[in-house]
């Protein structure tokens, strides 16, 4: 298993539509395992394949505090949505430092394939419901930033640019010492 590099906003590859998975082969099992490792490594509770630069409809989720309840959903589809909305503060491993209070259906029923190839139906509400919907959004190229007010987003982007600039300058300042 290995830790995969994450794409970061505003990478245009995060905006692409992901393809359905045809065969559940060794590569898919390996991808799912690596995605779980990557998610745990970064302390996340969900990760979608496009975030690791793979345009396939696969998400992994684990909302347990011990990280011992992994869930792998292949070709997930939201079959039913609750009319009631609930709000949760969401973050995203591809948009570090940005948090947004998102209003989404309070509960959803998701159908998907498990890694075994079995069809599963999952009723997800509360925080799990929010995470599953967030990850499925990634498969359609939708990001948290879509729901954030333009002003707040501009502030976030400016901050991350300054942060990157600071680290770049610091690196170039120290570079001669390493040579």
Pick the catalytic residue from 90, 135, 165, 179: 135
CA dihedral 34, 108, 56, 27 (to 10 degrees): 40
Site membership for Zn ion, residue 92 (CB under 5 A): yes
Give the rounded distance of the alpha carbon of 42 from its chain centre: 11
Which lies closer to Zn ion via its Cβ, residue 36 or residue 92?
Answer: 92
135 is catalytic: yes
Question: What CA–CA distance (Å, rounded) separates 46 from 134?
Answer: 8
The DSSP H or E segment spanning 37 is helix 26-41
Query: Two tokens at 131?
Result: 């995470």
Nearest approach, Cβ of 112 to Zn ion (angstroms)?
18
Site membership for Zn ion, residue 100 (CB under 5 A): no
Nearest approach, Cβ of 133 to Zn ion (angstroms)?
11
DSSP state of 116: T
- Binding footprint of Zn ion, residue count (CB under 5 A): 1
Nearest approach, Cβ of 154 to Zn ion (angstroms)?
20
Q: Which residues are catalytic?
A: 135
Residues that bind Zn ion (CB under 5 A): 92
């Amino acid at each position: 298993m290995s830790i995969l590099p994450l794409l970061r906003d505003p990478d245009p590859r995060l905006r692409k539509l992901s393809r359905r998975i045809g065969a559940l082969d060794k590569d898919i099992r390996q991808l799912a395992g690596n995605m779980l490792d990557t998610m745990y490594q970064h302390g996340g509770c969900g990760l979608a394949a496009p975030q690791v630069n793979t345009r396939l409809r696969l998400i992994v989720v684990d909302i347990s505090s011990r990280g011992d309840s992994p869930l792998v959903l292949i070709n997930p589809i939201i079959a039913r949505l609750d009319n009631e909305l609930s709000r949760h503060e969401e973050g995203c491993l591809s948009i570090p430092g940005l948090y947004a209070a998102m209003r989404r259906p309070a509960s959803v029923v998701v159908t998907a394939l498990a890694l075994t190839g079995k069809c599963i139906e999952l009723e997800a509400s509360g925080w799990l419901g929010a995470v599953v919907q967030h990850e499925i959004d990634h498969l359609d190229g939708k990001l948290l930033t879509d729901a954030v007010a333009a002003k707040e987003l501009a502030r976030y982007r400016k901050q991350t640019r300054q942060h990157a600039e600071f680290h770049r300058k610091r690196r170039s300042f120290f570079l001669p010492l390493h040579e």
